[in-house]
Structures are given as C-alpha cells and as structure tokens.
Amino acid sequence: MFDPNQRSKAFNFALKTQDNFGLIIGAFIIWSFWAIFFSNLEYVFISKVLLTLLLLGFAIITPLIDFNESHATNPLWTGHARFHLVWQVNAMILSSFLSLYLLWITGDSLSLGLVYCIIYLWIIAFALTLFSMSLYDGELNDINGVPPIKQKLFGKNLVIDRNVQAISGAFIICTYSLVLSVI
C-alpha cells in the first residue's frame, strides 16, 4: 500500500511516527556527542539513554508498524503467518520491557550485558532471516506492505527497506553504546 490514500489513518500515523522517531534518535546521537565532550555524564549513563531509545523503538514503533493492515491484519497473509508475526512482535515488546527493567532497575554490569545480548539477538535474528530469504522464498515487503524510504543522496535515488534501515540503525547505535559502556 504505497499510496497513502489507500492506507488507514493508523497505518499512516505509524509511518509518520517512525519517521519522527528517527529524528529523535538523531537528536540523541548529537546529544551523546555533546555529553561525551562537554559534560561530566558517565559514558555508561549515555549508553543507557541510547539503549532506552532503541528499546522504546522496539516496544512502541514495531507494534505501531506491524499491528495494522500491512502485517497483522494483512488480508493477503494466511492466518498462520499473522499468528507468527503477532507472536514475534509480542516477544519483542516483552523483551524490551524486560531489558528496560534490567537497564534501570537492576542496573548492574551483568544486567547491562544481558541487555546488549537481548538487543543483539534481535539484530542477529533479523540478519539471519534476511540472508536466508532464498531458502524460504521470503521477501522484505509485500505489495500492500510498508513502503520503502526513498532518499536522494549525492544525486542518486536510493530506495531503502524500512526494516533494513531500522535494524541497521539499531546495530550502529547498539554498537556505539557498547563501545561507550566499555571505555
């Protein structure tokens, strides 16, 4: 459903929210540079803030995008495929809340390590699924699914799948956060 007029208001809201969330992430990346060079904040605290944003994205943005006609109620999907999608998204939501608990309530270094493991499990699972699509005739998107991001960069038109963009960003931010937490 690449035509916004054919999508529900909820679906259009989800896409706009995802775009705005990307801007918020960008602002916090800039904040993290400021915090590193011009504040007395501990690097671990900066890492926790960045991880919190990732986890909120997993817990809020993912269901917004997936619990609509592009995925969970997609009329072209079989009921069993929708079941697995809802199961996967619910697992992502619950693991995000568990990670937030470990990050801010438990707060010790073991808990921080577990949070990194949980986030990297989601990232690695995505990568394995992406690179094995030919084995199960998978696709990144359906004709009535989430539209890609169209961007012009150095005069070239780029088309980027939103899942690839989001998980790539999550990998970069998680790795940046990991580096901050160990230096």
Separation between Cα atoms, residue 167 and residue 173, nearest integer Å: 10
**What is the pTM for the complete model shown?**
0.91
pLDDT score of 2: 59
Least confident of 8-12, 126-130, 169-173: 8-12
pLDDT score of 143: 79
Separation between Cα atoms, residue 170 and residue 149, nearest integer Å: 16
**Number of domains forming the structure of the chain:** 1
Per-residue pLDDT of 110-130, as tens digits, reads 999 999 999 999 999 999 999
Per-residue pLDDT of 13-52, as tens digits, reads 999 999 999 999 999 999 999 999 999 999 999 999 999 9
Give me the domain span that covers residue 15. 4-182
